[in-house]
């Protein structure tokens, strides 16, 4: 990259609140690099490594630090690919190879490749003065970019530290994941102003913000996606303009509901303006119909939080029509119908969701059983997926129980509560639901017993005190009845 095309500034440092996490990560990276852990490929019977895309790798990292939590609520993970690739816009952001030198920073996971070997490692430091980049590598002596070990002829140095030159890095980089805030997007466009006319860049950044699955970022995404619509239309790319319009509609609607809940008048006004600009281009029905079932479920969830259950059901009916085996659609529609008082339909949807959940849990269990026992990272990820589905099952059972109680079908409600307790026998949730059920059924003694069991299992002092008050009220009512 010559001086005339060099960005005006380096990538800005991350928000200072990242630093404690990055320092800890750097410490462990350095420790493992120095230890030199045994290389699994040197075992007599090495396990075949699973193929993990950069997007999947990003999703796993994001699951460990989800947006909306912790001291940096708007932090998210971005996945970047070289623009010689042709990945779908929802999977990552395509940038010219030379832009990776601006982007790369300490503690970023990076995918390197010589088109034969593909390897994930972590950046230790970027020396922009001497134009070298170093890595924290578990197996530094086996690093495939050492001399004579790769098809590109790259000659990594091993002392001091494992490093390659800028030119070598840009030749081998196949992807990078970074943890930052939405401010990174503005910094990128400021550094490379020619990208401000690239509708695909705006679309991909918009997708990245929405992929964080936190509606607090939806308004940022809506701004980017609205610009993607404008630029694609200007370029005559009608197909990409409609894709961007669908996503802008989704982001602006979610952003509107989120801002409304916070009484953020300024943001709701901006989101409303984006919707008024984008929706007439294709019509609301066409925009909704073009969304995938998970996107429709997200739209419905946002509407449900705003208590717009009619809109939620419209989206969920459409999602289920597209995919009759879409568990989340039945789960959310059951909750919406319960709120509207359609208890019989809510119970049917919850039962359907539970059947689909059971099939999904079996699939995940089968996948876990097929993983090599030495694959700790893959096993941990599969356990998280299984845990997520089990949590979903708890919610589905709770919805089914509530619908059955409102229908006064207490025996059938007890079946749902029984499974809730069996799922998490050491947690208070199932016992609380049992207490509510028995109280509604007029069985105060059984309700009191269930409340005591919940109190024994509750670790949070505040919640335990509130349960004890409920128990005291229940006992008082029994004595005065």
> Which of 299, 95, 306 has its CA nearest to residue 204?
95
pLDDT-derived band of residue 139, with 50, 70 and 90 as boundaries?
confident
pLDDT digits (tens, 9 = 90+) for 432-453: 999 999 999 999 999 999 999 9
Residue 171 in this model has a pLDDT that exceeds 90: yes
pLDDT at 18: 86
Tens-digit pLDDT profile for residues 202-242:
999 999 999 999 999 999 999 999 999 999 999 999 999 99
Contact call for residues 309 and 303 (beta carbons, < 8 A): yes
**Res 389 pLDDT > 90:** yes
The last residue of a domain, from among 190, 205, 231: 190
Residue 24 pLDDT exceeds 80:
no
Does residue 155 form part of some domain? yes
Q: What is the mean pLDDT of residues 307-330?
A: 96
Query: Mean pLDDT, the chain, as a whole number?
Result: 92
Interatomic CA distance for residues 243 and 229, integer angstroms: 8
Please give the pLDDT value at position 141.
87
Of 299, 423, 410, 298, whose CA–CA distance to 357 is shortest? Answer: 423
Whether residue 296 lies inside any domain: the answer is no
Residue 479 pLDDT class (50, 70, 90 cuts) = confident
In a domain, 346, yes or no: no
As a whole number, mean pLDDT of residues 322-337 equals 97
Confidence of residue 35 (pLDDT cuts 50, 70, 90): very low
pLDDT digits (tens, 9 = 90+) for 207-217: 999 999 999 99
Residue 137: pLDDT band (50, 70, 90) is confident
pLDDT at 1: 43
In a domain, 180, yes or no: yes
Which of 155, 173, 190 is at the close of a domain?
190
Does 371 map to a domain? no
Confidence class of residue 40 from pLDDT cuts 50, 70 and 90? low
Among 138, 167, 190, residue at a domain's last position? 190
pTM of the model: 0.90
| Per-residue pLDDT tens digits for 60-94 | 999 988 999 888 999 999 999 999 988 899 999 99
Q: Which two structure tokens, joined as six digits, stand for 397?
A: 């059972």
pLDDT band at 200 (very low <50, low <70, confident <90, very high): very high
Residue 2 is predicted with a pLDDT of 45
Cα separation of the two ends of the chain: 84
Residue 248 lies inside a defined structural domain of this protein: no
- CA 125 – CA 219 distance, rounded (Å): 33
Task: Determine, yes or no, domain membership for 373.
Answer: no
Residues 6+ positions from 103 with CB-CB distance below 8 Å: 11, 80, 95, 176, 178, 188
| Helix (DSSP H) and strand (DSSP E) numbers for the chain | 19, 7
Where in the sequence is the domain holding 428, given as residue range(s)? 424-481
Count: domains in the chain: 2
* Any domain includes 136: yes
């Amino acid at each position: 990259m010559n001086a005339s095309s060099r960005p005006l500034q380096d990538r800005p440092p991350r928000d200072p609140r990242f630093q404690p996490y990055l320092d800890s990560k750097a410490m462990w990276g350095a420790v493992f690099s120095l230890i030199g852990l045994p290389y699994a490929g040197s075992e007599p019977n090495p396990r075949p490594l699973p193929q993990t895309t950069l997007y999947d790798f990003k999703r796993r990292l994001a699951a460990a630090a989800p947006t909306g939590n912790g001291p940096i609520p708007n932090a998210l993970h971005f996945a970047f690919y070289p623009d010689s690739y042709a990945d779908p816009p929802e999977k990552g952001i395509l940038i010219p190879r030379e832009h990776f030198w601006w982007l790369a920073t300490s503690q970023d996971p990076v995918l390197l490749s010589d088109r034969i070997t593909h390897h994930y490692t972590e950046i230790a430091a970027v020396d922009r003065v001497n134009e070298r980049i170093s890595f924290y590598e578990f197996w530094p002596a086996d690093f495939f970019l050492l001399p004579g070990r790769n098809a590109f002829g790259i000659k990594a140095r091993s002392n001091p530290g494992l490093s390659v030159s800028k030119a070598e890095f840009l030749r081998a980089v196949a992807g990078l994941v970074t943890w930052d805030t939405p401010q990174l997007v503005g910094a990128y466009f400021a550094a490379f102003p020619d990208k401000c006319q690239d509708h695909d860049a705006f679309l991909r950044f918009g997708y990245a913000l929405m992929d964080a699955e936190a509606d607090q970022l939806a308004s940022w995404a809506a701004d980017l996606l609205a610009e993607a619509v404008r630029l694609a239309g200007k370029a005559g790319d009608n197909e990409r303009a409609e894709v961007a319009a669908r996503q802008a509609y989704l982001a602006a609607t979610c952003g509107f509901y989120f801002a409304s809940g916070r009484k953020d008048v300024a943001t709701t006004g901006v989101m409303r303006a984006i919707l008024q600009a984008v929706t007439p281009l294709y019509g609301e029905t066409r925009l909704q119909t073009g969304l995938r079932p998970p996107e429709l479920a997200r739209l419905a969830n946002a509407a449900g939080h705003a208590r717009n259950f009619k809109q939620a059901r419209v989206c969920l009916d459409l999602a289920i029509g597209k995919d009759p085996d879409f568990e989340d659609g039945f789960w959310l529609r059951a909750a919406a119908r319960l709120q509207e008082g359609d208890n019989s339909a809510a119970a049917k949807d919850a039962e359907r969701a539970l059947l689909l959940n059971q099939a999904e849990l079996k699939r995940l269990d089968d996948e876990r059983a097929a993983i090599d026992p030495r694959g700790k990272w893959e096993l941990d990820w599969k356990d998280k997926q299984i845990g997520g589905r089990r949590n979903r099952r708890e919610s589905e059972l709770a919805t089914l129980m509530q619908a059955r109680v409102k229908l006064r079908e207490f025996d059938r409600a007890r079946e749902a509560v029984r499974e809730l307790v069996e799922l998490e026998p050491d947690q208070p949730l199932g016992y609380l639901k049992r207490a509510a059920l028995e109280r509604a059924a007029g069985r105060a003694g059984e309700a009191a017993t269930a409340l005591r069991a919940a109190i024994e299992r509750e670790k949070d002092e505040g919640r335990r005190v509130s349960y004890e008050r409920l128990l005291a009220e229940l006992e008082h009512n029994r004595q005065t009845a």
